[in-house]
Structure 1
Amino acid sequence: MITPVAGRHGHLALQQTALGLGTRAPEPYVVVTMDDPAAGLLAGRGSPPAEVVPVPVPCAGRLPLAAARNAGARRAVESGAGVLVFLDVDCVPGPGTVARYAEAACDGALLCGTVAYLPPPPPGGYRLGDLARTAAPHPARPAPGPGRVVPGGDPDLFWSLSFALTAATWRRIGGFCEEYTGYGGEDTDFARLARAAGVDLCWLGGAPAYHQYHPVTDPPVQHLADILRNGALFQRRWGHWPMLGWLHAFARMGLARLDPAAGMWHAT
């Protein structure tokens, strides 16, 4: 399993605790630290202990998430992993999540389990046994029942919070495009690469992840520059802009505008 991290050490600790209580241990458990040596110390001393892969952050404030996931996948494959499970640091796996991903993984499939968003933690923190009752799956994505696999998923709905694929399928796709840095775009690009490689996006039941609370803004105005930069990169690679909902929201706020003649979005 591969988890990129920069900060959010409490979230990492709870994820690691849940993995230790799961029905199948991740083999290996790789934590990719982005200019965060303290996270590496935490992950290496936890249970299960993680293999720590440090990745530098070349541009301050722009996390290299695509490069971090690729680095984690390389380490996992070098360590003998036949199935790669990616779980963001905010996500806590259910007790059977890793086992379900491993059971369902097959060449040519990109598996996406359900992700449910948790409310702020109660006093004393989240209780692992309560997570399934605390949050419902995201309403914009399919949520198959346990044991079900729904093929033919829309690549525009893919997100890297929780997904899995065989190592052979990872090599077939070629990993994430590392030109993306900061917030936004790399997920949809990866899903497009998967589709171009003939890999089917499949919604998987029985592999839940519970997203721990942290404050958010909608639209994410603090990431405006990243979204415009990464959106322009996506447009060059695929011929259209992603994240249009956010871009139109920025336009209504007077923060961005579309140049119709050039087909380009710009900050105002």
Structure 2
Amino acid sequence: MRSAVITLAKGRHAHLRLQQAGLARSTLRPDQYVVVSMADPAIENVVGTGRPPAATVLELPLRDGRLPLAAARNAGAAHALASEAELLVFLDVDCVPGPSLLAGYARAAQDGALLCGSVAYLPPPPSDGYRLDLLPEMASPHPARPAPPDGVVLRGGDPRLFWSLSFALTARTWTRIGGFCESYTGYGAEDTDFAATAALRGVDLRWVGGAPAYHQYHPTSRPPFQHIDDILRNGALYKRRWGHWPMEGWLHDFADHRLVEYVPATDTWRRT
């Protein structure tokens, strides 16, 4: 299979460099490495310096000042498909692929399947940075996601657990789903919408053993207070499309901090 690795980036340059270094150590090299820069012209110099694998950088502007995550994934996929990719592998910019990630996805790839590999979370890096050979020892698996052993594929996964940190699918399956809904901008819900669309169109979510990725540390808040307006806006869009609210755990956390409130009469969440 001709494979393409697609990632989106704005900032996180050191993370992107380590991802590229991880791909260079892959037992199966990607035929394409497509990096979609979201209003970050420096990305070209980060990955386009002759280091393998050679990267193609696409430029997208912000939309109303917000990151166009859905549109960026669609743009990366469109470029890969135009260059005859048969397997699309999406990696978050923070994710470093394990050496077997691409081979693991390629072995499990089937039309009609949406594949998710395991993602383990790394602690803050030591003073000299992460060492690729030590990542498996340093990382802790996500407690709420399946992590099957090498060679095992778990079928019939819950679409609500899909995550866009690391996933793969064949070109035919991408076309069947139709890509991401570009009405979502900023943080949240576009990947939940994608998984719901996949399920509606008969695509099976599968958890793939032997396709590991390692999520590099970065400071964050829980709940993600910095994304509250995006979550309310994108959550309302998802509600209109699917009839119920996503990200309810975060919404309830925001409510506990008296930042939002639920309005039962209209089944809506709003800023207080």
Range class of TM-score, shorter chain:
over 0.9
Q: Determine whether 1:191 maps to 2:201.
A: no
Alignment match, 1:207:
211
Deviations 1:114-155 (A, max 9, x none): 000100000100000000011121010111000000011111
1:51 is matched by which residue type in structure 2?
A: T
1:41 to 45, 48, 52: 45
Q: How many residues align?
A: 267
- Other-structure match for 1:93: 97
What residue is the counterpart of 1:157 in the other structure? 161
The unaligned stretches of length 5 or more in structure 1 are none
Matching residue's letter, 2:170:
T
1:252 is matched with 256
In structure 2, C-alpha distance between the alignment counterparts of 1:84 and 1:256, rounded to whole Å: 38
SS in 2 for 1:170: helix
By how many angstroms is 1:58 displaced?
2.2
* Structure 2 alignment gaps of length 5 or more: none
Deviation of the 1:252 alpha carbon: 0.8
Q: Superposed, which structure 2 residues align to 1:71-82 within 5 Å?
A: 71-82=75-86
Runs of 4+ more than 3 Å apart:
none
How big is the shift at 1:16? 0.2
- The reply on whether 1:167 has 2:168 as its aligned counterpart is no
2:32–2:54 Cα contact (<8 Å) kept: no
- Report the Cα distance in structure 2 between the residues aligned to 1:9 and 1:39, rounded to whole angstroms: 7
* SS of 1:29 mapped into structure 2: strand
Q: Any idea what SS the aligned residue of 2:15 has?
A: helix
Q: Which of 182, 194, 211 is matched with 1:178 structurally?
A: 182
Q: What's the CA shift string for 1:180-210, capped at 9, x where partnerless?
A: 1111001110000000110000000000000
- In the TM superposition, residue 44 of structure 1 has moved relative to its aligned partner by 1.8
> Is residue 10 from structure 1 mapped to residue 9 from structure 2 by the alignment?
no
Which residue in 2 is equivalent to 1:53?
58
One-letter identity of the residue aligned with 1:170: W
TM superposition shift of 1:56: 1.0
Partner residue of 2:236? 232
Q: Look up the equivalent residue of 1:132 and give its one-letter code.
A: P
Matched, 1:29 2:33: yes
Deviation at 1:42, TM superposition (A): 1.7
- Distance in 1 (CA, whole Å) between partners of 2:31 and 2:85 is 7
| Cα deviation 1:13-65 (Å, max 9, x = unaligned) | 000011011111111110000011111222222321101111111222x1100
Identity %: 64
Q: After superposition, what is the alpha-carbon deviation per residue over 1:221-265, rounded to whole angstroms, capped at 9, x for unaligned?
A: 111100000000000000000000000011110000011000000
TM-score, L = length of structure 1: 0.98
| TM-score (normalizing by structure 2) | 0.97
Q: Is the CA contact 2:19–2:96 (under 8 Å) kept in the aligned structure 1?
A: yes
- The structural deviation recorded for 1:163 is 0.2
Aligned equivalents of 1:254, 1:58: Cα separation in 2: 29
Query: Which AA in structure 2 matches 1:220?
Result: P
Q: Match of 1:47, as an amino acid?
A: P
Which digits, 9 at most, give the CA deviation of each residue in 1:72-128, with x for residues without a partner?
A: 000111111100000011000001101111121110000000000100000100000
Cα distance in 2 between the residues matched to 1:130 and 1:20 = 16
